[in-house]
Chain A
Amino acid sequence: MEIKWTYNFKGKEVSPRTPVSGVSEVLLAFNHGAVPAGSLISLDLETGKENWRHDTQHYFNTPSIDASGSAYITSFAGDVYKINRSGQVCWSNSNDQSASDGIIADEKYIYAEIGFGADLTRALSLEDGRILWEYNNGGHSYSLEVCGNHVVHTTQTGGRDRRFFVHCLDTSGGIAWKKEHPHFLFAPLIHGGLIYVGSRGYIAVFRLDDGALTNQFFIDEGDAVIMKPILRSSEILFVTEKSKLYSIQSDDPGACLELYAEFPTSEILCVACEEQKHIVLTDSGLNMVSRTSGIEEVVTFKGGEGGLMKVGQDLIIASLKTVQRVCIKN
């Protein structure tokens, strides 16, 4: 593994979100431990030098980036910021409720409220941050997924007697359909006219058109797919809470769920896909996983939270206080 640059973030008990690629920069949110605070930093993609940094008084989520390189980011204080490539805040929008990661669709930034008291999905104008529409989803939401004009997310009502829903909106805020489901549903992936979404003990597949439940793929009882499924051409990968990696071939209607790899002593944090193998970041190191060679450990480290992304042939890896651009040699 060749390290091209290293950036060290100063602070105690900090943990990074997944890095996001901009025009010629990497954007990365760090959160501080005991006292809620977050920092969004922009690093030069080639050198790893800090371009700018924006701090806030609560935890940040992962940013989204538009075509011009401007970043949109939500915080647990309920704030949303648009920050341009120079690091200037173009606008901010405050609501008194923790917010999820957002997505950019149809010239809007769309996100949902999370936690106790949450009940809204909200779209803001990319231009000036004003609220374009709000939809009452009834509870805590997991991450949103967009495909064409469809915005899909799952929610649960709060308290002891929970109820679980899948919502499909259009990007104008109208509801296409809403379905109740008997169990937890987490982060959805849309592919081939279907919605793949993890639950406890299985993966549910809904039809995008009308929300009909068309299939269920069962995993171990007591395990769950919380993380958003990962699409690589026609293969979909599912990471479970107990650090198992499953896959299915989405273009085969009769395909079965296949156990691809498992990490019994570590927690899978993030997966990046390559042609013949997958790169898996766990809380104890970086691994290459393929059907032919199984799991090959590339490097071990004392990790915690973190994430990675691919940039050409290189990887940007964020783990604890360190961000590195590395080239994995075959």
Chain B
Amino acid sequence: MAWTTDDLGRLSTAEIYDITLSSGPRTALQTAIGNEGFWSDVGFHALAHSFSRAPTHRLNVLMGNGKRVGNGLPNLNGGAYKSQFENRIRDAVRRGDTVDAMVEPVYFSPNSSARPDQFRTSYRVNGGDWIEHTFDNVSCTSRPTAP
């Protein structure tokens, strides 16, 4: 597991090799990081805590969408990021495959905050080709109202 930062000290890449699966509780720091973002954000693990017990610290946990923002889609944390990235990895590891993964937050200019605009993810199974996805870290400044 390794993390690199950009010149503003923000997460640039997070990578993990030979993922194992574990479980663990939500921590106060994770909640606190979520509270630093938009109302629709949560403390968002770049590398899921269930992957080789990836730690909860300020490089691995970012402000990320974790609540519905009224765009008709599930939230990112429990929706696309989970189903297209984390669960694919989980399924492969459960089969006994070796899985490596990488997460790169993307900050569009002039965003100088610690909240990424996108997450670019990639993973590979048993040394195969890297499978890449890009997820928009959607946000909403005000709570959507009921129709």
A positions within 8 Å CB-CB of B: 15, 31, 35-36, 58-59, 61, 76, 97-98, 100-101, 114-118, 139-140, 142-143, 156, 158-160, 162, 183-184, 186, 200, 222, 224, 226, 241, 305
Contacts and interface: CB of A to CB of B under 8 A. Distances in A.
Given A115-B52, A116-B52, A76 B127 contact: no
A58 B98 CA distance: 18
B20 A115 contact: yes
B94 interface: yes
17 contacts: A15-B94, A76-B21, A101-B96, A115-B19, A115-B21, A115-B52, A115-B93, A115-B98, A116-B16, A116-B17, A116-B18, A116-B19, A117-B52, A142-B96, A183-B127, A200-B127, A241-B126
Interface size bucket, B side? Answer: 20 to 34
B23 A36 contact: yes
A52 to B, nearest CB: 23
B129 A226 contact: no
B98 A156 contact: yes
Contacts of B18: 115-116, 118, 139-140, 158-159
A226 B21 contact: no
Interface in B33-81: 50, 52
Contact of A158 (B17, B50, B126, B128): B17
Given A31-B94, A200-B128, A222-B129, A117 B21 contact: no
Given A36-B50, A162-B127, A226 B97 contact: yes
A58 B21 contact: yes
A160 B91 CA distance: 22
Task: Name the residue among A35, A36, A222 with the largest chain B CB count within 10 angstroms.
Answer: A36
B22 interface: yes
Nearest to A158: B18
B3 to A, nearest CB: 14
Contacts of A143: 96
